[in-house]
Amino acid sequence: MLGSAFNPPHLGHLVLAQEARWQLGLERVLLMPTGVAPHKTIADDPGAEVRAEMARLAAASGDGVEASELELRRDGPSFSYATLEALREEEPEADLVWLMGADAALALESWERPERVVELARLAIAPRADVMRSDVDAVLERLGARSAAIDMPTIGVSSSGLRGRVREGRPIRHLVPDPVAELIEERGLYGS
């Protein structure tokens, strides 16, 4: 599972999903758009339904990648432990793997019930240029997390950077899947 606001989903998300699926032998990767973000406001949010639609469009371009609206169907904040509990209930025998960037892993101890997150899922961590792996390893060790490092190419794309490009009238083609770019343009999202 790869959780994010997906505001918008971009090629970095899809490369992470692809690499994790291949490197870890995963059957599928779920793109899980955040419903109600518990720790921050989602900047320039077009709404959860639109973000879910963009995630579905992005997932359609990749084998073994699916979009899930599990967090959108629940009331209240989208806490990761609750999402994992719901996935466990749906698929009791599944080997759950939570994909995240090293920046998210570094902040894991501040999450709601992080011990439950690491109890329910193995973590798969993608590198970030500004985060030391040794710092991430220290957090994972304190939590007793089962984890794997995902080796992937550096993708210098971020959702916030893409929203800025759209506001400036700059192209985003080849940075997001074409159907996502088309939806952004058609609906005038992010000031396009």
Q: Identify residue 155 by its one-letter amino acid code.
A: I
The whole-number pLDDT of residue 39 equals 79
Cα distance between residue 169 and residue 7, in whole Å: 17
The whole-number pLDDT of residue 91 equals 93
CATH number, domain of 121, equals: 3.40.50.620
Helix/strand/coil for 148: strand
The whole-number pLDDT of residue 75 equals 87
Average pLDDT, the chain: 95
The yes-or-no verdict on residue 149 having pLDDT over 80 is yes
The yes-or-no verdict on residue 83 having pLDDT over 90 is yes
The values of phi and psi at residue 96, to 5°, are -80, 135
Q: How confident is the model at residue 113 (pLDDT cuts 50, 70, 90)?
A: very high
Cα distance between residue 45 and residue 9, in whole Å: 13
Rg of the chain over Cα atoms, rounded to whole angstroms, equals: 16
Domain count, the chain: 1
Cα distance between residue 72 and residue 171, in whole Å: 30
The whole-number pLDDT of residue 63 equals 86
- Selected residue with higher pLDDT from 62 and 138: 138
Domain containing 49 equals 2-191
Residue 124 parent element (H or E) = strand 122-126
The whole-number pLDDT of residue 37 equals 87
The yes-or-no verdict on residue 163 having pLDDT over 80 is yes
The values of phi and psi at residue 77, to 5°, are -65, 150
Task: Summarize pLDDT for 30-82 with one digit per residue, the tens.
Answer: 999 999 888 788 999 999 999 999 999 999 977 899 999 999 988 889 999 99
